[in-house]
Structure formats: C-alpha cells, structure tokens
C-alpha cells in the first residue's frame, strides 16, 4: 500500500520545472512583495502575476503563497541562485513548513 501524504496531497517533486518568470514571481513573493508590487517591478499586469502564482501553487502543490515559499526553500529552489536573485528572508523551520498556521510569534504581545 502506498504511504499517505499529509492531507491527501501528492508529494512535491524534488525540483519542479518553474519558468524563469515563475521563479522571478516566487522570489519577489518570498521577499514580501504584494501582487501589485511584483507586477510593477516586472512590467506585467496584476492578473498575469496572479496567473503565474496559481501555476506556481499547482506545480509545488502549495495551498497558498506562504506555503509555496516554504516549499521552495525546503526543496532548494533558491539554492545556487545568484545573490541578487535569492530572497532576503530566512528559511522557515521544518515545523513551520509542516504546519503553516504556526506564526512564530506565540507569546509575544501585539502592539498597535
């Protein structure tokens, strides 16, 4: 019997084939840019960026933007990229990848 994967999702390929544009969109998303900022930076429409993100989610079997970035770090999509292409964020811990609901700020007071 084949092993079950979390929440019935298929396993993520080691390094799915992302286009250069998809890699650029994912890198910008990893750097915290919003869709409109990515669109302006890449001279594309917001709808085009949304379309690229949907393709990225599908290829990575990701639930959302944060999950896609976490998976990208986990499988090494950004490894070996030129420094200017690599996101400026720290990779998430394996616990955060497995459970994206963990914010990493438990027990800290929120100040408005």
Nearest to 11 by CA among 102, 74, 89: 74
Q: Domain for residue 4, yes or no?
A: no
Q: What is the band of 109 on the pLDDT scale with cuts at 50, 70, 90? A: very low
Distance between CA atoms of 38 and 87, rounded to whole angstroms? 13
Distance between CA atoms of 74 and 25, rounded to whole angstroms? 17
The DSSP secondary-structure symbol of 7 reads G
For position 33, what pLDDT does the model report?
96
Residues, the chain: 112
pTM for the model = 0.63
Q: Domain for residue 1, yes or no?
A: no
Distance between CA atoms of 87 and 103, rounded to whole angstroms? 19
Per-residue pLDDT tens digits for 30-87: 999 999 999 999 999 999 999 999 999 999 999 999 999 999 999 999 876 654 555 5
Instruction: Give me the number of domains the chain comprises.
Output: 1
Residue 24 has pLDDT above 60, yes or no: yes
The CATH number linked to 55 is 1.10.10.10
């Amino acid at each position: 019997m084949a092993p079950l994967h979390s929440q019935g999702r298929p396993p993520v390929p080691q390094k799915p084939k992302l286009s250069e544009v998809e890699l650029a969109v994912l890198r910008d998303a990893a750097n915290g840019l919003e869709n409109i900022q990515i669109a302006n930076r890449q001279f594309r429409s917001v709808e085009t960026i949304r379309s690229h993100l949907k393709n990225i989610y599908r290829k990575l079997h990701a639930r959302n933007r944060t999950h896609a970035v976490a998976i990208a770090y986990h499988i090494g999509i950004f490894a070996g990229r030129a420094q200017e292409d690599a996101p400026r964020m720290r990779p998430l811990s394996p616990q955060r990848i497995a459970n994206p609901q963990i914010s990493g700020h438990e027990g800290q007071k929120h100040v408005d």
